[in-house]
Amino acid sequence: MSVAPVVAAVQDHVALAEIELCGELIIAASAVPEGRLSADRIDEVLRVAEALPGGSDGKDRT
Protein backbone atom coordinates (compact mmCIF):
# COMPACT_ATOMS: atom_id res chain seq x y z
CA MET A 1 0.00 0.00 0.00
CA SER A 2 1.37 3.41 -0.91
CA VAL A 3 0.50 6.78 0.53
CA ALA A 4 0.08 9.84 -1.66
CA PRO A 5 2.68 12.52 -1.05
CA VAL A 6 1.61 15.50 1.01
CA VAL A 7 1.70 18.78 -0.87
CA ALA A 8 2.24 21.59 1.60
CA ALA A 9 1.70 24.67 -0.57
CA VAL A 10 -1.25 24.14 -2.87
CA GLN A 11 -3.01 27.42 -3.56
CA ASP A 12 -6.08 28.15 -5.60
CA HIS A 13 -5.61 31.79 -6.54
CA VAL A 14 -9.17 32.18 -7.82
CA ALA A 15 -10.62 30.82 -4.59
CA LEU A 16 -8.35 33.07 -2.54
CA ALA A 17 -9.48 36.12 -4.55
CA GLU A 18 -13.13 35.16 -4.05
CA ILE A 19 -12.60 34.76 -0.31
CA GLU A 20 -10.94 38.19 -0.16
CA LEU A 21 -13.86 39.81 -2.02
CA CYS A 22 -16.38 38.11 0.28
CA GLY A 23 -14.49 39.46 3.26
CA GLU A 24 -14.55 42.96 1.80
CA LEU A 25 -18.32 42.69 1.26
CA ILE A 26 -18.83 41.54 4.85
CA ILE A 27 -16.78 44.46 6.16
CA ALA A 28 -18.67 46.94 3.96
CA ALA A 29 -22.04 45.48 4.99
CA SER A 30 -21.18 45.70 8.67
CA ALA A 31 -20.53 49.44 8.27
CA VAL A 32 -23.97 50.18 6.79
CA PRO A 33 -26.45 51.29 9.47
CA GLU A 34 -29.52 50.31 7.45
CA GLY A 35 -28.21 46.75 7.11
CA ARG A 36 -28.16 46.43 3.31
CA LEU A 37 -25.65 47.47 0.70
CA SER A 38 -26.95 49.21 -2.39
CA ALA A 39 -26.15 47.66 -5.76
CA ASP A 40 -23.86 50.61 -6.48
CA ARG A 41 -21.95 50.08 -3.22
CA ILE A 42 -21.59 46.35 -3.94
CA ASP A 43 -20.16 47.19 -7.37
CA GLU A 44 -17.78 49.66 -5.75
CA VAL A 45 -16.58 47.12 -3.16
CA LEU A 46 -16.13 44.44 -5.82
CA ARG A 47 -14.37 46.92 -8.12
CA VAL A 48 -16.76 46.10 -10.97
CA ALA A 49 -16.02 49.36 -12.82
CA GLU A 50 -12.34 48.42 -13.09
CA ALA A 51 -13.27 45.26 -14.98
CA LEU A 52 -15.71 46.89 -17.41
CA PRO A 53 -14.70 48.40 -20.74
CA GLY A 54 -15.25 52.12 -21.16
CA GLY A 55 -13.42 53.56 -18.19
CA SER A 56 -13.02 53.42 -14.48
CA ASP A 57 -16.65 54.33 -13.78
CA GLY A 58 -18.00 51.54 -15.99
CA LYS A 59 -20.05 53.88 -18.15
CA ASP A 60 -19.97 53.22 -21.87
CA ARG A 61 -18.46 56.20 -23.64
CA THR A 62 -19.82 55.41 -27.14
Answer whether 0.85 is exceeded by the pTM.
no
Q: How many domains does the chain have?
A: 1
pLDDT on residue 51:
76
Could you tell me the residue range of the domain that residue 18 belongs to?
13-51
Residue 26 lies in a domain: yes
User: How far is 20 from 46, CA to CA, in rounded Å?
Assistant: 10
Residue 31 lies in a domain: yes
Encode pLDDT of 15-60 as tens digits.
Answer: 999 999 999 999 999 998 887 899 999 999 988 888 777 655 545 4
Residue 5 lies in a domain: no
Residue 8 lies in a domain: no
For residue 11, pLDDT beyond 90 = no
CB hemisphere CA count around 19 (13 angstroms)? 6
Separation of CA 20 from chain center: 6
